Structure 1
Amino acid sequence: MRSDVDVKKLKLMAAKMRGNVVEMIPPGKVGHLGGSSSICDILSVLYFYRMKNLDPKNPKKKNRDRLLLSKGHAVLAQYAALVELGYFGRAELKKVKTFGGMLQGHPDIDKTPGLEAVTGSLGQGLSISAGIASALKLDKSGAKVFCVCGDGELAEGQIWEAAMSAANYKLDNLCLFIDKNDVQATDTVRAVFPMTTISGKFAAFGWHVIEIDGHDITQILDAVDEADSVKGVPTVIVANTVKGKGFPFAEGKAQFHNAALDEKLYKEALNCVEIMKKEASK
């Protein structure tokens, strides 16, 4: 295990990020609490441990690692990390999804520094990521591309076309996270469009497969380190997560995929964040 990694610090950052997500959706403002909070631990490790050559003063730095949220509706989690990195000021969090604000409900690369693609039309992000990874290989760049998809999103056929292509072109500079929280917009994934044996499917498509607890920082760290050692094939990390993680009133519930919090739930969410911070600090 890496002796230089402060696991407690990464846990605390994930808690702070969940707090930032709540801050962006005050009472009356609709937002994707569920799918944003389920990926905060993953993004904490990527942004604050693994991704290299990030520079808030030069967001388009040539040799930077890239992160694309194919599940673009969860971009609040990405904003929650970018603000901590200094890509924009905290005042922008109050202006999410407003005219004149740089933070919109889905990623907008023309407005927001630190984003790599316009995503949210589900199924497209992995194709874009594979294209970027291919271009980086042609340029002989050492940069890596990380992509995050939802498990409900895997019903999109374009995902599997991209998976075939990435394996065919040996894109070992591409690492895909599957946010396997088993809940989509209206119901469970099992009820709407069962997506069984995700790991087996990607293995059959020629990917290196790792399966983890997506809320265990140590497992996420081990997985990204393992992905870095893989040569000749892309890697997929199937992360078993909980929709609405950290907020008991929202955990595993489709109604918090995209919803507004009332005053009572908002205060409860803020209290949950404080509890998470205390737990992370132990």
Structure 2
Amino acid sequence: MNITDLKIKAAQIRIDLMTMITAAQAGHTGGSLSNTDILTALYYRVMKHNPTNSKDENRDRFIASKGHSVESLWCILADLGYFPKEELTTFSQFGTRLIGHPNNKVSGIEMNTGALGHGLAISVGMALAGKRGGKTYKVYCLMGDGEQTEGSIWEAAMAGAHYKLGNLIGIIDLNGLQISGKTSDVLSSEPLDEKWRAFGWHVIEIDGNDIEQLISTFDMIDHKSDKPTLILAKTTKGKGVSFAENQISWHHIVPTVEQLNLATIELRQQIEALRKEEN
């Protein structure tokens, strides 16, 4: 996919996740909208993975440490064929596999996550196993910015640097908001760039909603380095849906049918504008 195709895909995924959350009457809308561009870049362009062979030993690994924002991930995995797209209609319903956090009973999910602060430690273990086993795969771990107040994050950060895991890439969805307010007001963890550098990581700051910048950043990472990489991806919570953007309440608001219709119209307009721009 070229950059325009990826932007269109991200908008389509946003329509799918909004539709899924509305039908289920449950979900974390804002964070899923903010991380959609990151996941789109990873799954459709950057990562080595195969929906028909999800256990390939050489596959790249993705861990969603901020597991509550799983909706965009479910929609992407369904779109890629890891499971039937029709199954999205069962999201958060009784007996479903598609619960509100990643569930490794589903093809394409490496590990159950959602208890914040655990994903990076899991990723360190996977990356260390790959390095010691002579494997070429990379491990990508998506964290939240509110999650940076968990002590286990910093224990894992020390371990990743100690073992010189150049095959480990941490990404922080830095949208500045969490369930109870601004991250800077709830419990500030800034300056994150200086802290991660002090813990021995190579730190890159980018616009996490700019797919072109995401692609170029992932492509330039030196995986043979003796340092793991941390990407501070500055995003907008609720990205793509104007009335949800930068609104704390949209952390877990479920759209009404009217709001879903408005969001769908807005996202389809974005798609049409991208297609016209390309032509």
Q: Which amino acid aligns with 1:223?
A: T
Q: Which amino acid aligns with 1:202?
A: W
Shift of 1:12: 1.0
1:213 to 207, 210, 228: 207
- Aligned residue pair count: 276
C-alpha distance in structure 1 between counterparts of 2:199 and 2:224, whole Å: 16
Q: Does 1:138 align with 2:129?
A: no
In structure 1, the residue matched to 2:173 is 179
C-alpha distance in structure 1 between counterparts of 2:102 and 2:33, whole Å: 17
Q: Does 1:35 align with 2:37?
A: no
Shift of 1:101: 2.2
Segments of 5+ residues of structure 1 without an aligned counterpart are none
Q: Which amino acid aligns with 1:15?
A: A
Q: Does the 8 Å contact 1:28/1:262 carry over to 2?
A: no
In structure 1, the residue matched to 2:7 is 11
Q: Which amino acid aligns with 2:125?
A: G
Q: Does 1:79 align with 2:74?
A: yes
C-alpha distance in structure 2 between counterparts of 1:65 and 1:120, whole Å: 20
In structure 1, the residue matched to 2:95 is 100
Q: Does the 8 Å contact 1:17/1:80 carry over to 2?
A: yes
Shift of 1:230: 5.5
Distance 1:229 1:181, change over 3 A: same
In structure 2, the residue matched to 1:277 is 271
Q: Does 1:88 align with 2:83?
A: yes
Q: Could you list the per-position Cα deviations for residues 153-176 of structure 1 after superposition, in whole angstroms to 9, with x for gaps in the alignment? A: 000010000000000000100001
Distance 1:261 1:224, change over 3 A: same
In structure 2, the residue matched to 1:238 is 232
Q: Could you list the per-position Cα deviations for residues 73-107 of structure 1 after superposition, in whole angstroms to 9, with x for gaps in the alignment? A: 01111112111211111111111011232211011
Shift of 1:228: 3.6
Q: TM-score, normalised by structure 1?
A: 0.95
Q: Does the 8 Å contact 2:18/2:255 carry over to 1?
A: no
2:220 to 196, 217, 226: 226
In structure 2, the residue matched to 1:26 is 22
Q: Could you list the per-position Cα deviations for residues 86-134 of structure 1 after superposition, in whole angstroms to 9, with x for gaps in the alignment? A: 1111111111011232211011102x11001111100000000111111
**5 Å matches for 1:144-183?**
144-183=138-177
Q: TM-score, normalised by structure 2?
A: 0.95
SS at structure 2 position matched to 1:176 = strand
Shift of 1:273: 2.0
Q: Does 1:45 align with 2:41?
A: yes
C-alpha distance in structure 2 between counterparts of 1:205 and 1:49, whole Å: 29
Q: Could you list the per-position Cα deviations for residues 3-61 of structure 1 after superposition, in whole angstroms to 9, with x for gaps in the alignment? A: xx611111111111111111211256021110001011111111011111x22122111
RMSD: 1.3
C-alpha distance in structure 2 between counterparts of 1:27 and 1:108, whole Å: 20
Segments of 5+ residues of structure 2 without an aligned counterpart are none
Q: Which amino acid aligns with 1:218?
A: E
